[in-house]
Amino acid sequence: MSFGLLFDSTRCIGCGACAAACKEQNALPDGIENRTTAYTWTTVEKRNGHHVRRMCMHCVTPTCASVCPVGALHRLETGPVVYDSGKCIGCRYCVMACPFGVPKYQWDRPVPVVGKCGMCASRLAAGQATACASVCPTGATMFGERDALVAE
């Protein structure tokens, strides 16, 4: 079974609970930036009076993973596109290949890695929903089986 996330901008109130939960779940530094970075993996932008969530799309056929020469990025059967920093050689092909500009390189670290949402793969393995969907007060971020979300 493959899981996914669905965002409904008509329900989003821009509270940022999803971004805060992501930071906490992934032990990322405090401070939610107004765009995705190596340390802010999801954010809510305001565009033309609407709230738009930015995060990894966890593509069925992820371009970021297809260009990685060492398999540091790969898609799990359960849906998340995950990153293994132990395999990464720092080529940044994934950064250039992603059509959504999701993987971000940590330029400020002596041994940099790529930062991106992993769709809370450890939570999924434990039978839990993603942190961002769990805290959304309006149900704007929905977690579930991918086919059901596509049907929705």
pLDDT digits 0-9 by tens, 14-48 = 999 999 999 999 999 999 898 999 999 999 999 99
Lowest mean pLDDT among 2-6, 110-114, 144-148: 110-114
**Cα–Cα distance between 30 and 67 in angstroms, integer?**
31
Q: What does the pLDDT read at residue 1?
A: 82
Q: What is the pLDDT of residue 124?
A: 95
Q: What is the 3-state secondary structure (H, E, C) of 57-110?
A: CCCCCCHHHHHCCCCCEEECCCCCEEECCCCCCCCCHHHHHCCCCCCEECCCCC
Put simply, whether the predicted model's pTM sits higher than 0.85 gets the answer yes
Q: Which pLDDT tens digit goes with each residue over 121-137?
A: 999 999 999 999 999 99
Which tokens in the block code for residue 123? Answer: 């939570």
Length of the chain, in residues: 152
pLDDT in tens, 79-122: 999 999 999 999 999 999 999 999 999 999 888 899 999 999 99
Cα→Cα distances 103→72, 93, 100, 106, 133, Å = 12, 10, 9, 10, 21
CA dihedral 18, 21, 27, 33 (to 10 degrees): 40
User: Which residue type, as a one-letter code, is found at position 60?
Assistant: V
